[in-house]
Amino acid sequence: MKVSKNCAICGDPFEAARSDRRYCSAACRKSAWRGAPAIEQPAELPGPVARETRVILGRLDVDLDRDHVGRAALRCAAALDDPNTPPGALVGLSRALPEALEYLREVRRTELS
């Protein structure tokens, strides 16, 4: 019986065949063995900000919860709205979000045609 879990290192969701599995891949398992710090999962944004982000991204006509790219786009948008995001990360996030959304739009266009 497979169990849905989140990786202890990168935080990505994965299907675990064993209930005691903690890592999504060999790379994450090796990182943990080498002593890499686990990435903290960002807390859910405070109420209105999280809802507003979802509403704005919902207007894009793409399925954000469909795959890892959509979930990454949601995390980018949430991090851009999070006041605790370091200023140095904002540049990369603001570049990554439009790229992810364009990819999702292209996937949607190819599915519709």
Could you read off the pLDDT of 9-54 as tens digits, one per residue? 888 889 988 888 988 998 888 888 887 665 565 555 555 656 666 6
By CB neighbour count within 10 A (0-12 exposed, 13-18 middle, 19+ buried), where does 77 fall?
Answer: buried
Contact 16, 7 (CB under 8 A): no
pLDDT band at 101 (very low <50, low <70, confident <90, very high): confident
